Amino acid sequence: MKTWHELVDLVITGGYEAVAIGFIHAYANDAHEVKLAQALREAAPDLSVSISSVVSPQMRELPRFNTVIANAYVQPQVADYLGRLVTRLRETGITAQVFMLHSGGGLMSVETAAEQPVRLLESGPAGGAIFAAELARGHDLDKVLSFDMGGTTAKICLIEDGQPKTANSFEVARTYRFKKGSGMTVSTPVVEMVEIGAGGGSIASIDAMGRIQVGPRSAGSEPGPACYRRGGENPTVTDANLMLGRLDPENFAGGAIPLDPALSEAAVATKLADFNANDAAFGITEMVDENMANAARVHTVENGRDIEHFTMVGFGGGAPLHACRLCEKLGITALLIPPGAGVGSAIGFLKAPFSYEATRGFFQRLSQFDPEAINQTLAELESEAQSFVAQGSEGQETEIRLTAFMRYAGQGWEIPVPLPHGTFTAEDAPLFRDRFEAAYRTLFGRIIEGLEAEITNWSLVVQTRLPAPRPVPAAPEQSDAPVGRTRRIYDAAKRDFVDAAEIDRTALRPGMSADGPAVITERETTTIVTSAYRACAQCDGSLLLIRKGATT
């Protein structure tokens, strides 16, 4: 075994740019990690050093080591990029503070982001979840399924009581069609969502069994779908939607990107030659929709929820094209397409609170409940989180959320258990047990009598308090939406082309409605209203799609 001095010499002579330090029990005692980090920094002040007890101080060494390695791998590049970004902003006269959105759905300082870039891994999708949560609060919806579909992926997230569901770990670099368990587990706070490789640029192909498959390979923006006229030769979801009449070739992206249907048809005919062209295009979109529906079903079942009780919120450039069909498959009655849907994640960045989630591994069985040790741990977590939030909150009112991760003794994994923030006493042990059993029953439908319960990890979130959203009033009595023209589109439920009313979204006023099949166009995206739904413009500019015959 090498001594610390030998390790330091090995790093210096090896010319390494970054080092990840992970000791097996550092979540409980970080003294040795800190000493080694100090020795490295003294010997090489410019060396990037990441230690697991700072980046991810939680139980389970494999996810913790994965996390600190990932942080060390990207830290020099991210720190350099953010440093140049801030410098360029200052040179152009922008002196405002720079903040970054982290994977947990809040803002943090650029200095924290440079030190812990692993917290940025899922920041883009997290912005979309914040956007959907803001919409849910304004419409007084307590159960929302957000559906974000862009060019390469589709993301689905549960939002309850105005808050996106969060987790303390997620997977990156999945190798098998984004399948759970095929990637590297990273333990850092994140908005929990299911993600599949299905977007506008996802490439369709024929597998070994002669079936149409879509993704995870993507044509990207260069060369992009075949219809972009930039040399793309593979059929994509965008090509299929164009062939099915769901996109206007002359008015895509407000006319900025004219599309060529002939190129789409040629790509489909060449790569999917075993199928009739229109059947192949329908197969592409149906495969994408079914994959997303399956992912949404699994995600809600894993969280002990009934998906039919949720309202879907669709955003991103691709979601409005597919959301209504997705609702048909899932049995969802109501769908909201918000204004600015094509840039929903960017809007979510502007809605995010300033927040920090402090985590700590601290094992304790309820039979050995030690309130003093718990209170000391929580005080340290709160001090850590408050110090980070203070960098950008500027005296704003904050709120605290506390979560214990608990399990039955002998189980291999734990579940999140929300707890009231405060000082605990010996009399609070039954509270922990009651909250754990309530959460366990919600997920699994039953509890296990006679087994000991135990706590493994803690999470404490401090965030600035979000302002109450302006309630969206009910739309007035309905009137017919102005129809510009009719368009032939393929209706998946009817398995045929139908005449659909084409409506300019900018011409809609609150209360205007249209029965499907209909196509509602705007610069950033297009909303497809299938024959089973009716669309009504809301007072905040949203489109509410309701299943015909349903009461809501």
For residues 444 and 317, what is the distance between their CA atoms, to the nearest angstrom? 36
For residues 284 and 303, what is the distance between their CA atoms, to the nearest angstrom? 29
Indicate the burial class of 205 (C-beta count within 10 angstroms; 0-12, 13-18, 19 or more): middle
Strands 398-408 and 99-101: unpaired
Q: Which letter does DSSP use for residue 344 in this model?
A: H
Nearest to 267 by CA among 319, 219, 207, 318: 219
Residues across the chain: 552
Task: Say if CB 483 and CB 514 are below 8 A apart.
Answer: yes
H-state helical runs in 198-260: 237-243
The pLDDT assigned to 551 comes to 66
pLDDT band at 103 (very low <50, low <70, confident <90, very high): confident
The pLDDT assigned to 150 comes to 84
Nearest to 345 by CA among 310, 378, 311, 318: 318
The rounded percent of the chain whose pLDDT value lies above 70 is: 97
pTM: 0.85
Q: Give φ, ψ of 143 to 5 degrees.
A: -135, 110
Nearest to 429 by CA among 349, 368, 363, 515: 368
Three-state DSSP at 303 gives coil
H-state helical runs in 217-333: 237-243, 261-271, 277-302, 319-330
Q: Give φ, ψ of 513 to 5 degrees.
A: -140, 165
Has residue 378 got a pLDDT over 90?
A: yes
Q: Which residues contact 20 (CB under 8 A, 6 or more apart)?
A: 50, 51, 52, 65, 68, 69, 71, 72, 73
Three-state DSSP at 413 gives coil
The pLDDT assigned to 174 comes to 63
For residues 64 and 21, what is the distance between their CA atoms, to the nearest angstrom? 10
| Residue-wise burial string across 325-361, b where 16 or more C-beta atoms lie within 10 A, e elsewhere | bbbbbbebbbbbbbbebbbbbebbbebbbbbbbbbbb
Tokens of 114: 């440079």
Three-state DSSP at 482 gives coil
Side chain identity at 349, as an amino acid letter? F
- How far apart, in Å, are the Cα atoms of 168 and each of 75, 105, 124, 199, 405? 20, 13, 17, 26, 9
The pLDDT assigned to 246 comes to 93
Has residue 305 got a pLDDT over 60?
A: yes
For residues 408 and 440, what is the distance between their CA atoms, to the nearest angstrom? 10
Task: Say if CB 219 and CB 230 are below 8 A apart.
Answer: no
Task: Give the model confidence (pLDDT) of 227-245 as tens digits.
Answer: 998 888 899 999 999 999 9
Lowest mean pLDDT among 4-8, 104-108, 330-334, 529-533: 4-8
Tokens of 4: 């610390």
Task: Give the model confidence (pLDDT) of 249-275 as tens digits.
Answer: 888 877 778 889 999 999 988 888 778
For residues 519 and 502, what is the distance between their CA atoms, to the nearest angstrom? 5
The pLDDT assigned to 173 comes to 66
Task: Give the model confidence (pLDDT) of 421-478 as tens digits.
Answer: 999 999 999 999 999 999 999 888 899 998 999 999 999 999 998 888 888 988 887 8
Q: Which residues contact 129 (CB under 8 A, 6 or more apart)?
A: 105, 146, 148, 157, 159, 164, 191, 193, 348
